[in-house]
Chains A and B, each alone.
Chain A
């Protein structure tokens, strides 16, 4: 009994020490987040105030939920929400599928030279700002001289005025978004694949598994943790539209707003007088909903595979 107790105590001390040491590792990060993220966070209170320079953040007049009115009482609130969330939802799912497929196929190539070449080319869009991508998309979609229409006419189809056809835009925007991000995303998944020891594949091949079976049983399960986690994180931003994408590519054409206007572009258009309270209010709303969705998604994931949860 005595021995057990002593052993138990030793264990506890060991654990305490272990936890203490690990905590020291986290200290730099914790201090960083505290100073640079949590301290300013209280300033979000601007969302409930009518901001006045002289009174500062604390002293400005409290207006409660008035700043939120701008978004909620807008006749477009439903359309904006539908667009923002709808697009993001599709982007997340299709983005993951495309990036994973690319990573898997890239993994099959053995020559370093080819891998380098393909990865470098896929990464190129990351260097282009949305403004430049906007110009490029215009070169492609221009009704008169655009490449797409020239291509169609070559095959005896008639070109279309893409900029006045609202039906194509969900596709155009999705393709553009994937084009811009697949390079970076696939690199992350590719790095994860690097962590699988090749012995596993060799053993599976000896057991008679073909390529597809190997992928399904080894590669993909190894990717599930990172896909899940990053997916949960992306859900947190599902109410935030990528401003550059939705503003530059449709060239801010009003008649397309029905399918291209998102919360962030709407905000940008309406706040020429620099109302800080309203901007902050909408941002707070986007964060808050994101939080709820993440917690919900996390709970769902907990039910399915508890080791892949965020927290």
Chain B
């Protein structure tokens, strides 16, 4: 009996290892290219292992440490705080939707879901956010317009629906109102789904560069990904400056590491998330819900 399980266990692990290679090798390639010299890329194309290790791309990305540190600060603040607010609002929304007896379940569900399909588009949203809500060029633009998403609300709702209905019943008998039930009973039991959704929302906010592109004019409020994009654009622009002002002769521009910078950017932005992920994984463990129900 024990032997059988072991073999299948080994086989599964081995297959996953192979499977994981398909994901790890590309990231290693990205890392390798970020360390390659620009001229090697142009001559020989992209390869995983550089002939010579060269930190030019990273030096270029970090040439102004203050701006990068600033962007990290901004991004960390709005990502975490935004995720926190977001998950609470979405979970609050999901809970009544999961209760079968709730009268307005269906219309609200439709109300929420409709926003997933239909949108006004960039211009009306921009006008609303900048002219009427005055959110443009502030840190709050990263947090409020993206506070909730139907997708995650539904994931949370489905999870809540899986919780035994006796929970709510017994809470009421004990005299709790819905708010207390929600915060003191339902939420603690929902760690796996909350951890999952929190991580996914955090990831989305961390990778966001479009909000900065559209709304932010002050360089102190740039998000990390946007700052890196900008560096990328600048590098590319320097190389193509001839298209705008013809006949300029200068070889200094050739030293801008446009290609490898793109990859260095990727690594710089990814790093923190990889470090954070294990913290969320803590909650992806079996049996957390069991004890609670029993109790």
From residue 116 to 133 of chain A, which have CB atoms closer than 8 A to chain B? 116-129, 131-133
Q: Does A30 contact B (CB under 8 A)?
A: yes
Contact of B182 among A25, A197, A279 (CB under 8 A): A25
Q: Closest approach, in angstroms, between the C-beta of A157 and any C-beta of chain B? A: 20
> Which residues in B have their C-beta under 8 angstroms from that of A287?
117-119
Say whether A26 faces chain B, with CB atoms less than 8 Å apart. yes
Which residue of A has the minimal Cβ distance to B85?
A: A28
Are B102 and A29 neighbours in the complex by a CB distance under 8 Å?
no
Tell me which residues from 227 to 281 in chain A have a Cβ below 8 Å from any Cβ of chain B.
229-230, 233, 236-237, 276, 279-280
Does A115 belong to the interface (CB within 8 Å)? yes
Q: CB distance A26 to B96 under 8 Å? A: yes
B284: chain A residues at CB < 8 Å are 115, 119, 187, 190-191, 194
Q: What does the 1/0 interface line of B21-62 toward A look like (CB < 8 Å)?
A: 011101101100100000000001111100000000000000
Write the chain B residue with the least CB distance to A105.
B12
| Residues in B whose Cβ lies below 8 Å from that of A19 | 102-104
Give the CA-CA distance A228 to B195 in the complex, in Å. 22
State whether the Cβ of A299 lies closer than 8 Å to any Cβ in chain B. no
- On whether the beta carbons of B287 and A197 are closer than 8 Å, the reply is yes
| Chain A residues bordering chain B, tally (CB within 8 A) | 91
B270 close to chain A: CB less than 8 A = yes
State which of A35, A114, A126, A192 has its C-beta within 8 Å of the C-beta of B159: A192
Interface string of A275-294 (1 = CB under 8 A from B): 01001100110010011001
Indicate if A64 sits at the interface (CB-CB under 8 A): no
Inter-chain residue pair count (beta carbon < 8 A): 267
Q: Is the CB of B104 within 8 A of A128?
A: no
Most A Cβ at <10 Å: residue of B117, B127, B148, B284: B117
Complex: A37 Cα to B192 Cα, angstroms = 29
CA distance A1 to B232 in the complex (A): 79
Closest beta carbon of chain A to B124's beta carbon, Å: 2
Given A26-B93, A29-B93, A198-B286, decide whether A192 and B158 contact each other with a Cβ distance below 8 A: yes
For A276, what are the chain B residues with a Cβ–Cβ distance below 8 Å?
A: 121, 123
Interface flags, A102-122, vs B, CB<8A=1, else 0:
100110111010111111111
Q: Is the CB of A188 within 8 A of B104?
A: no
* A32 close to B124 (CB less than 8 A): no
Residue A225 lies at the interface, judged by CB distance under 8 Å to chain B: yes
The answer to whether B93 and A28 touch across the interface, beta carbons within 8 angstroms, is yes
Bound complex: CA A117 to CA B97 (Å): 35
Residue in A117, A197, A222 whose CB lies within 8 Å of B289: A197
Interface of B is mostly: helix
A38 within 8 A of B: yes
Cβ-based interface call for A311 (8 A): yes
B144 touches A124 (CB 8 A): no
Bound complex: CA A276 to CA B126 (Å) = 14
For the complex, what is the distance from the CA of A119 to the CA of B19, rounded to whole Å?
11
Q: Do B262 and A132 have beta carbons less than 8 Å apart?
A: yes
Q: A residues within 8 A CB of B103?
A: 15, 19
Q: Which listed segment binds A: B74-82, B108-116, B216-224, B245-253? A: B108-116
Interchain CB contact (< 8 A) of A36 among B145, B195, B196, B287: B145
Closest to B109 in A: A311
A165 within 8 A of partner (CB):
no
The answer to whether residues A18 and B178 also contact, given A25-B95, A29-B148 and a CB cut-off of 8 A, is: yes
Q: Which residues of B contact A284 (CB under 8 A)?
A: 118
Q: Contacts A21-B179, A40-B125, A233-B154: A192 and B23 contacting too (C-beta < 8 A)?
A: no
Query: Known contacts A191-B196, A310-B109: does B147 contact A32 (CB below 8 Å)?
Result: yes
Cα–Cα distance between A89 and B109 once the two chains are bound (Å): 24
Q: A53: nearest residue on chain B (CB-CB)?
A: B123
Binds B, one of A2-10, A41-49, A74-82, A166-174: A41-49
How many Å from the CB of B190 to the closest CB on chain A?
A: 9
Per-residue CB contact flags for chain B residues 249-273 toward chain A (1 = under 8 Å, else 0) read 0000000000000110010011001
Q: Which residue of A lies closest to B287 (CB)?
A: A198
Is B68 an interface residue when CB atoms closer than 8 A count as contact? no
Give the residue of A132, A192, A198 whose beta carbon is less than 8 angstroms from that of B263. Answer: A132
- Whether A225 contacts B158 by the Cβ 8 Å rule is yes
B115→A37 contact, CB < 8 A:
yes
Q: Contact at A128–B30, with CB atoms within 8 Å? A: yes
Q: A125-B26, A126-B203 are in contact. List 6 more A-B contacts (CB 8 A).
A: A33-B111, A36-B147, A105-B15, A179-B22, A184-B200, A233-B113
Which A residues form the contact surface with B (CB < 8 A)? Answer: 15, 18-19, 21-26, 28-30, 32-33, 35-44, 46, 57, 102, 105-106, 108-110, 112, 114-129, 131-133, 135-136, 138-139, 142, 145, 179, 183-184, 187-188, 190-192, 194-195, 197-199, 211, 222, 225-226, 229-230, 233, 236-237, 276, 279-280, 283-284, 287, 290-291, 294, 310-311
